[in-house]
Structure 1
Amino acid sequence: MESRLSRLEAVQVMVLEIGQISNHCNNINEFLHAVHQALSRIMYAANFYVALYKAEQNSIQFAYHVDEFDPSPDPAIPVILESPEASPTAWVIYHRQPLIMTAEEDAAQEAAGNSWGSGARAEHWMGYPLLDHEKKSLGALVIQSYDTEHTFSQEDQALFGLIANHVSNALQGFQSVDRLERAVQERTALLAHEVAERRRTETLQRALYQIAELSFSVADPNSLYAELHQIIGQLLVARNFMIALYHQDTEEISIQYFVDEKDEHPSMKRFPLGVGMTSFVIHCEHAQLIDKTRLAELVAGGQIRQALGNMELYSWMGAPILANDHVHGVIVVQSYDPHILYSETDLELLAFVASHVAVAVTRLEADREMRDAKARLEEQNTTLNEALLALQEAQSELVRQEKLASLGRLVAGVAHEINTPLGICVTATSHLVDELKLTRKDMAADTMTQESLEEFLDIVDQSLRILTSNTRRAATLVRSFKQVAVDQTSNDKRLFQLKTYLDEVLLSLQPKLKGRPILVEIDCPEEIRLDSYPGAISQVVTNLLMNSIHHAFENNAEGQIRITAEADGSNLKFDYTDNGIGVDQDGLDKLFDPFYTTKRGQGGSGLGTHIIYNLITGVLGGTVKASSQPGSGLSYQIRFPMVAKNSVKPA
Structure 2
Amino acid sequence: MIDAETEHHRRVAVALKETSATLETLGTIGREITASLNIKDVFGALHRHVHHLLDASSFVVYLLDDDQRALNMVFGMELGQPLSQIIVPLDLPESNIARCAREQQAVVIHLEPDNDQKTLIPGTLDTRSLLYAPLIVCERLLGVMSIQTSLPDAYGERELSIFLALCAYGAIALDNAAAYAAAEASQRRADQALSELRQTQGELIQREKLASLGSLVAGVAHELNTPIGNSLLVASTLRDESTQFLQQVQQSSVRRSDLERYCQSAAESSDLLMRCLVKAADLIARFKQLAVDQTSDLRRSFDLRTGCEDVVLMLSSRLRGAGHQLEVDITDGLIMDSYPGAFGQVLSNLIINAIVHGLDGQMHGLISIVGRPKDKQHIVLIVKDNGRGIQAEHLERIFEPFFTTRFGQGGSGLGMHISYNIVRSILGGSISVSSPAGEGAIFEMILPLYAMEQRLGI
TM-score, normalising length from structure 2? 0.69
Residue 506 in structure 1 maps to residue 315 in structure 2: no
Paired position in structure 2 for 1:358: 167
Paired position in structure 2 for 1:518: 324
Structure 2 unaligned spans of 5+: 1-12, 64-68, 119-127
Contact 1:624/1:639 (<8 A) preserved:
yes
Cα separation, 2, equivalents of 1:555 and 1:209: 78
C-alpha displacement at 1:387, in angstroms?
Answer: 6.5
Cα separation, 1, equivalents of 2:442 and 2:337: 25
Cα separation, 2, equivalents of 1:369 and 1:650: 33
Cα separation, 2, equivalents of 1:403 and 1:541: 13
SS class of match (2:411): coil
SS class of match (2:332): coil
C-alpha displacement at 1:210, in angstroms?
Answer: 0.9
Alignment of 1:153-232 (within 5 A): 201=20, 204-217=23-36, 219-220=39-40, 223-232=44-53
Residue 561 in structure 1 maps to residue 370 in structure 2: no
C-alpha displacement at 1:430, in angstroms?
Answer: 1.9
Q: Residue deviations 1:288-314, cap 9 Å, x none?
A: 9x9xxxx9xxx9xxxx996999xxxxx
C-alpha displacement at 1:569, in angstroms?
Answer: 4.3
Structure 1 unaligned spans of 5+: 1-193, 310-315, 337-341
Paired position in structure 2 for 1:598: 405
Q: Per the alignment, do residues 525 and 400 of structure 1 end up closer, same or farther by CA in structure 2, a change over 3 Å counting?
A: same
SS class of match (2:389): coil
Letter in 1 for 2:332: E
Paired position in structure 1 for 2:396: 589
Cα separation, 2, equivalents of 1:625 and 1:607: 16
Letter in 2 for 1:219: I
Q: Residue deviations 1:74-129, cap 9 Å, x none?
A: xxxxxxxxxxxxxxxxxxxxxxxxxxxxxxxxxxxxxxxxxxxxxxxxxxxxxxxx
SS class of match (1:535): helix
C-alpha displacement at 1:533, in angstroms?
Answer: 0.7
Q: State the Cα RMSD in Å.
A: 4.9
Letter in 1 for 2:169: A
Paired position in structure 2 for 1:26: none
Letter in 2 for 1:356: A
Cα separation, 2, equivalents of 1:305 and 1:379: 52
Higher relative contact order (CA 8 A, sep 6+): 2
Contact 1:287/1:318 (<8 A) preserved:
yes
TM-score, normalising length from structure 1? 0.51
Contact 1:212/1:356 (<8 A) preserved:
no
SS class of match (2:295): helix
Q: Residue deviations 1:117-172, cap 9 Å, x none?
A: xxxxxxxxxxxxxxxxxxxxxxxxxxxxxxxxxxxxxxxxxxxxxxxxxxxxxxxx
C-alpha displacement at 1:321, in angstroms?
Answer: 4.4
Q: Residue deviations 1:326-370, cap 9 Å, x none?
A: 99677789999xxxxx9xxx9775454333123124335645765
Cα separation, 2, equivalents of 1:274 and 1:650: 58
SS class of match (1:576): strand
Paired position in structure 2 for 1:549: 355
C-alpha displacement at 1:636, in angstroms?
Answer: 1.6
SS class of match (1:509): helix
Residue 419 in structure 1 maps to residue 228 in structure 2: no
SS class of match (1:536): helix
Q: Residue deviations 1:252-307, cap 9 Å, x none?
A: xxx966679xxxx9xxxx9x9899xxx9xx9x97999x9xxxx9xxx9xxxx9969
Q: Per the alignment, do residues 359 and 443 of structure 1 end up closer, same or farther by CA in structure 2, a change over 3 Å counting?
A: same
Identity among equivalent positions (%) equals 29
SS class of match (1:596): coil
Rg bigger for which structure? Answer: 1
Letter in 2 for 1:627: S
Cα separation, 1, equivalents of 2:294 and 2:282: 18
C-alpha displacement at 1:541, in angstroms?
Answer: 1.1
C-alpha displacement at 1:475, in angstroms?
Answer: 3.0
Residue 398 in structure 1 maps to residue 241 in structure 2: no
Contact 1:318/1:330 (<8 A) preserved:
yes
C-alpha displacement at 1:509, in angstroms?
Answer: 2.6
Letter in 2 for 1:577: K
Q: Per the alignment, do residues 204 and 394 of structure 1 end up closer, same or farther by CA in structure 2, a change over 3 Å counting?
A: closer
C-alpha displacement at 1:400, in angstroms?
Answer: 1.6
State which of 609, 615, 625 in structure 1 corresponds to 2:422.
Answer: 615
C-alpha displacement at 1:418, in angstroms?
Answer: 1.1
